Amino acid sequence: MDVKPLNNSELQIMKYLWKIEKGFMKDIVDQFPSDGPAYTTISTLVNRMVDKKLIGFTKLGRDKQYYPLIKKNEYFKGQIGSIVSDFFNNSSTQFASFFTKSTDMSIDELKELEEIIKNQIKKKEG
């Protein structure tokens, strides 16, 4: 599923739903700071997210219980794919090189990454 980047409010809602799996509008509203968007604004945003097929709902009496329709990994895989395509000429190697050089990774983290890469090579080689 190709999903466009989420705005900050959409991402906050998705992160919450990914974490709890299901939630009511009150639960979603409570995730925002008290000086955050109004209830009606969040409600409109949630309804738009339903229209975009990002989240679904089950009716329970008069209430709706919302749940994510896209998996967290699917969303982030798509976003990373877009970054690799748009900024690194579709080269995972260029992206990995940039990532390891531009972040302050510890030696332990680099060794862990090396181990992950070795395991992926073994899987691909069969």
How confident is the prediction along the chain (126 residues), in pLDDT tens digits per residue? 677 899 999 999 999 999 999 999 999 999 999 998 999 999 999 999 999 999 999 999 999 999 999 999 999 999 999 999 999 999 999 999 999 999 999 999 999 999 999 999 999 998
pTM value?
Answer: 0.80
| Structural domain boundaries, residue 104 | 91-125
Domain count, the chain: 2
Question: Using CA atoms, how far apart are residues 82 and 68, in angstroms rounded to an integer?
Answer: 21
Question: CATH code at 62?
Answer: 1.10.10.10
Element (H, E) at 99: helix 92-102
Same domain, 53 and 85: yes
The predicted pLDDT at position 4 comes to 85
Same domain, 79 and 111: no
Same domain, 13 and 49: yes
Same domain, 27 and 61: yes
